A = this chain, B = another copy of it.
Amino acid sequence: LQENMPEDTEKIPLIRIKDNLPFQTKEVVVREFPLTLFLNGQELVTLLCSPNHLKYLALGFLVSEGLIASREDIKKVLVDETLGIVRVETHQKPNDSTDLVFKRFITSGCGRGAAFYSPVDVSGHSKVESKTEISFQQVIALMKEFQHASELYKTTHGVHSAALSDGDKFLIFRDDIGRHNAIDKIFGECLWSGISTDQSVIVTSGRMSSEILFKVAKRGVPILISKSAPTSLSVQTASDLGVTLIGFVRGSRFDVFANDWRITGTKEESATPGNS
């Protein structure tokens, strides 16, 4: 499947102006690929994505939206890379009322997952209870390696990366023009390949919104790490759903915004504030 994937970048002609002088040149830009997802024959959504791992993207999207929960739910997956179509058939239709399925997607709209944002709905989600811990050194080392790996994709400009880690090494590393897509690709692969995520760490290059938190919590991932910022709502969501939220990882420092009990050393070692 992966071998015939369309390229993720394209070299296109342009006019460059430099010091007031225009000249013709070429530049590599990232591809934006429309992927339309059909679930049991019904058109569900068109995702704008980087054209790699389309099957995993489709499955990850369905997982994140709660439309499938395990590989056993899946009857068939057909990917047409030329037309940009993925057709997924499930054994049981997640919802017989198309109206309800529709309603879901309307409510989530561009802010995918927005349906979950009321406090009522948060309480309906199960809390991540995993006892997995992570040390200072692991956080720093993971981000260092992550940024090194991301460098590979920097040539294309404007791609987000996400990775699944066991705390020490990366098991899956994905990139996409969309922050959400990169993470969905990981969860789609985990579902398909039977990789458990409930003792894992997700590292992301992007900002952490509440949507990302719901996505990660839904797969039982206990720790989320980014070099970027969280939003107010993502901190609240992480706190409510039991996810350890780590942001602003830069050099030898980082911030823990929620559930810091998973960071080894924050309690046991009685470090004095501010004397570093």
Contact = CB atoms under 8 A, between A and B. Distances in A.
A106 B105 contact: yes
A177 B111 CA distance: 11
A77 interface: no
A40 to B, nearest CB: 14
A27 interface: yes
A260 B106 CA distance: 38
Interface in A6-54: 9-10, 12, 14-25, 27, 29-34, 43-48
* Most B Cβ at <10 Å: residue of A19, A48, A107, A117: A48
A interface majority secondary structure: mixed
Contacts of A33: 233
Interface residues of A, number: 80
A45 B136 contact: no
A158 B260 CA distance: 23
Contacts of A109: 44-47, 105, 108-110, 112
